[in-house]
Amino acid sequence: MFEGLSLNQAPPISVVLRFFLTLPVFGLILSLLMILFPTEILTHNHPFSLASIHLLFLGMISMGMIGALFQMQSVLGGAPIPSPLGNSLIIHSLLVLGILALASAFIFQFPELFIIAAVLLGSGIVYFAQILLPLLIAKMSHNTLKGMRFAIFSLLITAILGVVMASSYANGSFSDTHAAIKASHYSIGLIGWIAALIIYVAFQVIEMFYVTASYSNWCKQNVKRILGASLLLKVIWLFAALPFAWVFDVFMALLLVGFVTTTMKRLRSRKRRVSDVSIWFWMMGLGLLMIALLSYLTSIVSHYEPLEAMSLIAFALFALSIILGMMGKIVPFLVWFHLNAAGYMETPIMSNIIPAKRLKMSFWLFGATASTAILSPFVPLLLIASGLSGIALFSLLLFNLVTAAKLYRKVLATGTRFTFEP
């Protein structure tokens, strides 16, 4: 991700940190809801459940992914994002206010808030896409860029479907196609946006960060085609009310199983087997994805509702695990890189920016949060335990990010520039 980084094109560090710092704040809000309203959150289609799902997928997962995309587009795309400070501020503000409005709309049942949320989130995501997509279309040579383009396009479609649904909630009237819109909304969001982006980021970073064998070119070229075709056919099936739409889910699930096994194999056979917390997060994330896929495939046959809930929770935690792992690697690197590039003698080594001890602690807290959350559909009280663990996890994450940002500012303010002695 970073070995092609160009200082002239990398956005200021605050652009990325702004999105990353918001993630634990929404994590804390969600954890509080889990402690206070566990039964409601675990009830299918309950407003508290829908609020929690959007806090998780928009407030945490998408927030982390959009922040990372600001960095990755500049690094890999070769074409810098115009006015990154101003544009990131606009997008971030629209998303934060939109997510708060949407969660409040569900929780407090204010129809007007659904309209406000739709306008804020819709415009934030459209604004983000109209900035990034042209840059990605201009640079077509890189498979990861093509994957990013596919993911952002999927996010755009997910948002448009979300706006349609929000207007239905605001009016209290649901069309005959509401179920098809809803299924398309979450299918494209989960697979086309989240899974596709993580897969294409993995194609780029697993080999580079962990010195592993590279993925095959066939995979790099065809994953997005298979996912895109499966999603398109599923949406057609849903709107035409044709039977067996789940067949396309099975295709996508099998592809994701292939991704899990291929990536685990590469990580296990890497050349340098050093202890790195980010690898622990990757392995746990892949394990959670496998749990999500197996429980979903089982639920297709059994129609057992807790299995469906377990699948959704495990899928979200898969994405969150990888985002947290990558944040632990990206943030110290960005602080170190920007300070070194500016020539500061006092630039700390990366392992001192967020100490390994604290990263390991966050991994174990995430493990506790995740294990209790995925079992909560069967034992609802476990969601309270998960919320308590989540409070500790996201407080620590916030502390790690704030201390890294403070360290950066301190060196900028008091550091001395590096000069050679003659």
Partner 1 sequence: MKSLDVREFDHPLPLEMTVDAFKKLSGSEVLLMIHRREPTPLFEIITKNGGFYRSVHVEENLWHIFITRDSNVNLDDCRV
- Residues in touch with partner 1 (CB under 8 A): 2-8, 208-211, 271-272, 274, 276, 329, 333, 336-337, 340-343, 349-350, 418-421
CA gap 201, 209 in Å, rounded: 11
CB-CB neighbours of 406 under 10 Å: 10
Q: Which is nearer to partner 1, 315 or 336 (CB)?
A: 336
Q: How far is the CB of 341 from partner 1 (least distance, A)?
A: 5
Angle between helix 196-210 and helix 246-268 axes, rounded to 10 deg = 10
**What contacts 31, CB < 8 A, 6 or more positions away?**
386, 387, 388, 390, 391, 393, 394
DSSP 63-96: HHHHHHHHHHHHHHHSSPPSSHHHHHHHHHHHHH
| 385 token code pair | 């335990």
CA gap 66, 347 in Å, rounded: 27
Rounded to 5°, the CA angle 280-340-330 comes to 25
CA gap 397, 402 in Å, rounded: 9
Q: Which is nearer to partner 1, 274 or 413 (CB)?
A: 274
Residues 259 and 299: beta-carbon distance below 8 Å: no
Q: How far is the CB of 333 from partner 1 (least distance, A)?
A: 5
Q: Which is nearer to partner 1, 237 or 363 (CB)?
A: 363
Q: Which is nearer to partner 1, 176 or 421 (CB)?
A: 421
Q: How far is the CB of 372 from partner 1 (least distance, A)?
A: 31
Query: Distances from the Cα of 398 to the Cαs of 181, 279, 318, 347, 411, in angstroms?
Result: 36, 21, 20, 22, 20
Q: How far is the CB of 279 from partner 1 (least distance, A)?
A: 9
Q: Which is nearer to partner 1, 32 or 341 (CB)?
A: 341
Q: How far is the CB of 240 from partner 1 (least distance, A)?
A: 47
Q: How far is the CB of 329 from partner 1 (least distance, A)?
A: 8
Q: Which is nearer to partner 1, 341 or 381 (CB)?
A: 341
